[in-house]
Structures are given as C-alpha cells and as structure tokens.
Amino acid sequence: MSVLSAQHLRKSYGDQAVVDGVNLAIEKGQCFGILGPNGAGKTTTLRLLLGLIAPDSGQIQMFGHAIPQQAREVRQRVGVVPQLDNLDPDFSVIENFMVYGRYFGLSKTEIAQRIPALLDFAGLSNRADAKIQDLSGGMKRRLTLARALVNDPDLIFLDEPTTGLDPQARHLMWQGLRRLLNQGKTIILTTHFMEEAERLCDRLVILDHGRLIAEGAPRELIAQHIEPCVTELYGENIAHWRDSFAAQLCARHENVGETLFCYSSDGAALMQNLHTQTHLRFLHRPASLEDVFLKLTGRELRD
Amino acid sequence: MSRNYLTLPTLSLRFIPVWRRNYLVWKKLAIPAILGNLADPMLYMLGLGYGLGSLMPSVAGVPYIAFLAAGTVCYSTMNSATFEVLYSGFSRMHVQKTWDAILNTPLTLDDVVLGELVWASTKSLLSGIAILVIIWALQLQASFWLSLWIIPVVVLIGFCFSGMGLVMNAVSPSYDFFLYYFTLVITPMVLLCGVFFPVSQMPAILQNIAAFLPLTHAINLVRPLMLGHIPTQAWLHVMVLIAYGAAGFYIALGLTRKRLLS
Ligand SMILES: Nc1ncnc2c1ncn2[C@@H]1O[C@H](COP(=O)(O)OP(=O)(O)OP(=O)(O)O)[C@@H](O)[C@H]1O
Ligand SMILES: [Mg+2]
C-alpha cells in the first residue's frame, strides 16, 4: 500500500487552475520528486498533500487516513522542510528543537535525548547555542531539516531543500537525505535542480501549469524522451554546418539562440565530423533529465 | 468541498505549546519588558494625577489621582493586550512565519490563534497587576480586599482587547495598518470612556456612543472596586467584555483561516 496517494486533485485560485487533476502514489522508502517550472503548482500540491489547504475536488490518503480531515493525526508522523526557512529567530539552535518538539507533544526529556543526534545530523554540534541570525544559509537549511526530524517522522516533505545553497552545502544536504532514505524513511521533494532529482529520486513527476506531464524513474524518462547522446555546438558558422550535416548526423536537432543542440544515438559519426570542423566549439555529453525537462516544458521563462 | 472558514473554533489544551513559546521568548527579557510597559501609564497616572489633581478639589467625590488610578489600570491592560496581538502577533504570523512552522506540526490554526489570545491576555494581566502594585504602594485604593477583585476583571479586559486586536491582525497587510486601529478605535476609547474624566461630563450624544464601547464597561467595573463600592450592573459589564472578546476571536479566526489556509 502507498504511504501517500492522491487522485484527481484540483485547486484553483480565481480562474487559474493551479493544480489540475493530479494523481500520485508514493511507496514506502521511496524518494519521490516533483519537478516543474516556477509557478507550476509544486508548493500548492505539497500544501494540499499536507492538508493545509483543502482541494476543490479529489482525494488524498496518507498512512491510510483521509486528508485534510485527519491531517492533524497524520502530521504526527510527518516532517516538513518549507520552501522558505521559518526557523524561530527568537531562539537559539537548541531552543528551536525544544520549542518545535513541544508542538508534537514531546516531553522535555524526549526532546533532550534526541538533540545530540539532530545537531550531529545538521553538522551543528558546535553551534548548539548560536542564534539563528548568525547561521549561514546552508546551516539554516540543514537545521530546518534536522528540526523536521524532531518527531522521528516516517515521511518527510522537502520544498526546494537546496535552493540558494553552494555546492558544498548542497552535497551535504544530499548526504543527509540519503542517510534518511537508508533508514527507510520516505521522502517527497520538489526541486529545480535536475541533477539533484537524477541523483536522489527513485521516481519523479514533472508538473506544468498544474498538470502532470511526465512520470517515471529518472533513467526511464531520459530513455523515453531523449536520444542517448547530446551534442551542443557553438560558433559563428553553425547555420552553415547545420544545413550541410545536421539531417545526416543527428537524429534530431534544435536551435536555441546561438547554440545548436544535436541529439543522436551514439554520436561516433558526429564526433568524427566535428573533429574536422576546427571553427566550431562543441560539448558532447550523455542525455540528462534537464534535456527531458526542457523538451517537455519548453524554454520560455515562466514569470 | 472547500473549507468553511466560519465553523466554530475547536478549543483544546493543545494551544499550550504556543502559549509557552511566547512565554519563553518574553521570559528572556521579562524585567525590561515589564518596566517598559509600566513606565508610560505610570507617568501619566502620577503626572496628571498629582499635577492636574492639585488644581481640582476632587473628581466624582475622590482625589483626582484615585479617580485616575482605575482608568489607568484599564487602559494600560487594553494597550498591553492590543500591542501584543497587533505588533508581536503580526510579526509571528506574517514576518517570521512562526505560525506557518507551527501549522506543519499536529497543531491547527485554531490552536495557534487561541494560544495567541491566551498569551496576550496573560501578558496584559501582568501589565494590569504591575499598575495595581503601584496603586497599592501609594494606597490609592479605598479597600485592599475589594481592589483584589480588579484582578479577574483585568483578565476579562485582556481577553476582550486581545480578541478584538486579533481581527486587525487577520486583515492587516503591514504594520502601518495598525495605526488606523489606534487612531480610530483605541485613542477615541481612551478619551471617551472615562479614563481621565467621568463620562457624565460629556454631551449626551458622546455618552451614548461611550455606552457601546468596551472600555467604558471595563472602567464601570474597575472604578467602583477601586473606590470601595460593589459595581452596579456588574453582570452587564462582564457580558459586554466577554461578548466583544468572543466575537473578536471568532471573526479573527475566520479571517485568519481564510488568509493562511486558502
Ligand atoms: N494563496 C494563493 N492565492 C492566489 N494564488 C496563488 C496562491 N498560492 C499560489 N498561487 C498561485 O499558484 C501558482 C502556483 O504556485 P506554487 O507556489 O504552487 O508554484 P511552485 O511550483 O511552487 O513555484 P516555485 O517553483 O516558484 O516555488 C502561482 O501562479 C501562484 O501565484
Ligand atoms: Mg514553490
């Protein structure tokens, strides 16, 4: 049975359908990703799943309970990392755990027992008494994640956990999430980093204008939508090269500004040709989730 | 299936962690906070009471400062409750997003708003008691034992104005908005409801308006208790304070549900 499932979810603001017929099923122990451009409805979907807002129509079950009717009971087993940090600035790191644990009805001794492990998880063992304002962005994000673990949740919601973090901080966050998955916890996360989704997610959906436009494991989605190899060509004579060779050497190609994207199944013939074209610069790489994302959602800005 | 924002509040003891959170923050700066809240009403009471009072034979049959003492307890309690739900409450709801964090736990918005209401009432009780202590020290009350009854009345006053203030909090786009509430509601009450002079000194029309304002009813309870009488029509005044507070809480909860949970 799924830990969390939703059928035909709909939510509109005014006449804008922000979530438009979403179906999901998340299995225990999975890392489930929700990708989508800005304004696609990711945060709204999470808020619906958490029972913070009621859908216009559709059903949600979490741990076999109906949401939002039984959201309060279910949230005892859930941890949430919101898109924007809302750590309590009136308290120190350790007091944040204390105060937050109380909201779950935990006793002082229970929380105190958990704090060392949580501090360690967040990499903040030596900053236990620091004020929130004195923490870096990465520390705050890790603390927000550790705080979400204070009730030892089975299911963790993360809304863009690594947005705004530097590569070091991001890798640390990923390690933390992997540890949680290894402990058997279920994770649902939204992200704008395709690399993050590719590394962490067992399954993911792509959401656009409130609708699911793709669903599957990252590798499956890449195999399904994009040829295995992508070559990006830059330079002044691209148009000329394209007219002479593209049809013959690329399974598919597209022009984006000054760049020509060339999709092929192995690219050997293409490589041979390109090594003779000294005036062109190029990058040859395997197809990625980002290619899928851009193919399905288009390249225009959303807001 | 959309949520009905006007369903009755679900009241439960789960509000306690919310109350406790605010208490822990307050405790860090308790002494300066109490002294800061006390300074303003105390200076008014002493300055006007002795300064202006020396020019007047008596007001309503007692020295002016004794008259003013009851008004000061009421308006200082009102101010304390109002400031707490308006400025501090808004900061927790809108600026720091503390409420959003709490809503991700098993607590509901009903718990949060109730916690804020009880907390603001608690804090204003402390303000009211602080003024009472000064009054007792100066022996401005007629009977100490009767004046102890002022304490439960202060709780009611705190409840009343916390509930009303939460409505402003629910609809406010920013801190600036609260100025309207002070200019249009709080200040007129301070001037019309008998804090500084008896309501009976005003023209009939203003007296009629004052009769509808909650601060008048608060003062109608506290002043007799301060001057050694049992208040007349006490239940009416108690019911008015409860009604304003309860209606405020209910409306505020509906508006806050709409604001945060839609
Ligand atoms: N309470 C609300 N009232 C009106 N419109 C809203 C509300 N909440 C969200 N929206 C609108 O719904 C759309 C989806 O918002 P949502 O926050 O779910 O997007 P998102 O996918 O999380 O975007 P981002 O990647 O930028 O975080 C946006 O157009 C947003 O303006
Ligand atoms: Mg979002």
pLDDT, one tens digit per residue, over A205-217 is: 999 999 999 999 9
Mutate to test the interface with B, among A99, A110, A152, A158 (most CBs of B within 10 A): A99
Chain A residues with CB inside 8 Å of B14's CB?
105
pLDDT of residue B179: 97
| Coil/strand/helix, residue A20 | strand
Q: Which residue of A has its CA nearest to B99?
A: A86
Least Cα separation, residue A56 to chain B (angstroms): 6
Could you tell me the distance, in angstroms and rounded to a whole number, from the CA of residue A210 to the centre of ligand 1?
10
Atom of ligand 1 nearest to the CA of A192: 25
pLDDT < 50 positions in chain B: 1-2
> Is the Cβ pair A99, B107 closer than 8 Å?
no
Neighbours of B11 (CB within 10 A): 11
pLDDT of residue B1: 36
Residue identified by tokens 């007799």 is B224
Would you say residue A218 has pLDDT above 80? yes
Distance (Å) of CA B55 to CA A169, B60, B68, B191, B221? 71, 15, 14, 20, 27
Whose CA is closest to atom 16 on ligand 1?
A41
Strands A229-234 and A211-216: unpaired
Chain A residues with CB inside 8 Å of B104's CB?
50, 52, 75, 78, 80, 82, 148
Would you say residue A303 has pLDDT above 80? no
Neighbours of B227 (CB within 10 A): 20
Encoded tokens for A175: 């390690």
> Is the Cβ pair B17, A95 closer than 8 Å?
no
Q: What is the pTM of this model?
A: 0.94
User: How many distinct helices (H) and strands (E) make up chain A?
Assistant: 12, 14
- The candidate with the shortest Cα–Cα distance to B33, out of B42, B25, B44, is B25
Q: What is the pLDDT of residues A234-285, one digit of tens each?
A: 887 888 899 988 888 999 999 888 899 999 988 888 898 988 887 889 999 9
Would you say residue A198 has pLDDT above 90? yes
Could you tell me the distance, in angstroms and rounded to a whole number, from the CA of residue A86 to the centre of ligand 2?
15
Q: In chain A, what percentage of residues exceed pLDDT 90?
A: 84
Q: In chain B, what percentage of residues exceed pLDDT 70?
A: 99
Chain A residues with CB inside 8 Å of B2's CB?
54, 56
ipTM of predicted assembly, 2 dp: 0.93
Q: What is the pLDDT of residues A26-81, one digit of tens each?
A: 999 999 999 999 999 999 999 999 999 999 999 999 999 999 999 999 999 999 99
- How many beta-carbon contacts under 8 Å exist across A and B? 70
A300 vs A124, higher pLDDT: A124
Q: What is the pLDDT of residues A121-149, one digit of tens each?
A: 999 999 999 999 999 999 999 999 999 99
> Is the Cβ pair A53, B102 closer than 8 Å?
no
Would you say residue A87 has pLDDT above 80? yes
